[in-house]
Amino acid sequence: MKTTATTVAIYIAFLASCLAAPTPLGNSAITTVEGADAVVLEDRGAAIKSGDITYYDVGMGSCGHDDSGKGDSEYIVAVSPDVMGGRGDDSACGRKVTIKGPNGEVTATVRDKCVSCGSGSIDVSSKVFKDVVGDLGVGRSAVTWSFQ
């Protein structure tokens, strides 16, 4: 495996976050993709992704549900196109996601696609953002998340 400065920097950042808030990872392995913005931890078969979280005004989502007016009351998440997958059974629509951030942890439902999100990043309803990050004024924060 070729070690790059990016891989080393990601690994150091990961180790620093573990020391700040230790979490048992069991038999985990760190997987990085050269040039990728995200780190994926394989933990007992469940992919734990890390990336940025942002929030948006939810509305008619790519999963076909109109969530207009539900941003402050429901846990809604939009994932990147590569995570979303195809249509029908191949789609992430309706899947539950556990999101962990600096202020807490919630379970949200995939209801939309975030075309501007990188593979580990997510866009969420304001309720999710407030419960996971805190203040909406932050705008963007680092989180980890995984499908249930």
How confident is the prediction along the chain (148 residues), in pLDDT tens digits per residue? 454 554 445 545 554 444 444 343 333 344 444 444 544 444 334 589 999 999 999 999 999 999 999 999 999 999 999 999 877 666 899 999 999 999 999 999 999 999 999 989 999 999 999 999 999 999 999 999 999 9
* Containing structural domain, residue 64: 5-147
Q: What is the CATH number of the domain that holds 38?
A: 2.40.40.10
Domain count, the chain: 1
pTM: 0.69
DSSP string for residues in the chain: ----HHHHHHHHHHHHHHHHS----SSEEEEE-TT-S-EEEEETTEEEEEEEEEE----B-TTS-B-TT-TTTS-EEEE-HHHH-SSGGGS-TT-EEEEEETTEEEEEEEEEE-TT--TT-EEE-HHHHHHHT--GGG--EEEEEEE-
